[in-house]
Amino acid sequence: MAGWVLLGLVVVLVLWAIVSYNSLVGLRNQVKNAWNQIDVQLKRRYDLIPNLVEVVKGYMSFEQETLQKVIQARNMAMQAQGPRAQAEAEGMLTGALKSLFALVESYPDLKANQNVSRLQEELTSTENKIAFARQFYNDSVMGYNNTIQMFPSNLIAGSFQFSAEEFFHVAEAEKAPVKVNLR
């Protein structure tokens, strides 16, 4: 009798271990997937910027400085190594784009241009997607880390070397208000 009870307990324990191991793997993959989603959107932004600059160039020839800054920021962001440098470069790119959009507002011809408004919508949406992807990444990390650190799932996490993931922090440069130089 006692033997059966013991056996039952062992079976329940093993089943529980399998279920929590699988859910940990699922959560870890979700975190990875969320991170990749950010990269997809960042890459899309790099691709869109040259198009926008090309279209805008003809209209705002005397705003070369702003355009230069956007291109420069884009190239720097593409080459940035490591999360910290990348976050900083991305922040600068966002700032440069915002000043460009602010300038577009003051050119009626440009605002009326279908291509420009379409590209502007695409870039706005891509910026939003980057932000939402980061938001989802952080939510996923929180869910994963909670599961890893809380009892009793921490027992499984500990024995199979699941380690906590890092949150995405907004770079200081991105928090600062955008400076728009209208002269």
Partner 1 sequence: MPSAAVPCPHCGYENRPGELTCNLCGAVLARQQSGGLTHAAPATSIPTTVTSARPAPATPASRRDFFVEIAANQRRSILLIGAVAGLLILLGSVIGEAVALNGWPIGLGFAVVVAVIIGLTSYFQGSAIVLAASNARPVTREAEPQLYNIVEEMAIAAGLPAPAVYLIDDTAPNAFATGRDPSHAAITVTRGLLDKLNREELQGVIGHEMSHVRNLDIRFSMLVAILVGSIVLFCDLFLRSFRFGRLGRDRRGALPFVLLAALLAIVAPLFAMLLQMAISRRREFLADASSVQLTRNPLGLANALAKIAGDPEPLEAANRATQHLYIVNPLKVFGMNASALMSTHPSTEARIKILRSMA
Asked if residue 16 binds partner 1 (CB under 8 A), the reply is no
How many Å is the maximal CA-CA distance in the chain?
Answer: 90
| 176 phi-psi bin (left φ>0, alpha ψ -120 to 50, beta other) | beta
Q: Whole-number minimum distance, CB 171 to partner 1, in Å?
A: 18
Nearer to partner 1, 98 or 129 (CB): 129
Site residues for partner 1, 125-164, by CB under 8 A, read 125, 128-129, 132-133, 135-136, 139-140, 142-143, 146-147, 150
Total residues binding partner 1 (CB under 8 A): 22
Distance CA 178, CA 50 (A): 21
How far apart are the C-alpha atoms of 39 and 45, rounded to whole Å?
Answer: 10
The answer to whether 121 contacts partner 1 (rule: CB under 8 A) is yes
Closest CA to 100 of 51, 135, 133: 51
User: Residue 177 phi/psi, 5° resolution?
Assistant: -65, 150
Give the residue with the Cβ less far from partner 1, 38 or 67: 38
Least separation in angstroms between CB 149 and partner 1: 11
* 1 half-sphere exposure, CB direction, 13 A CA radius: 0
Token code pair at residue 181? 């130089």
Given candidates 17, 32, 35, 37, which one binds partner 1 under the rule CB under 8 A? 37
What are the residues binding partner 1 (CB under 8 A)? Answer: 30, 34, 37, 41, 118, 121-122, 124-125, 128-129, 132-133, 135-136, 139-140, 142-143, 146-147, 150
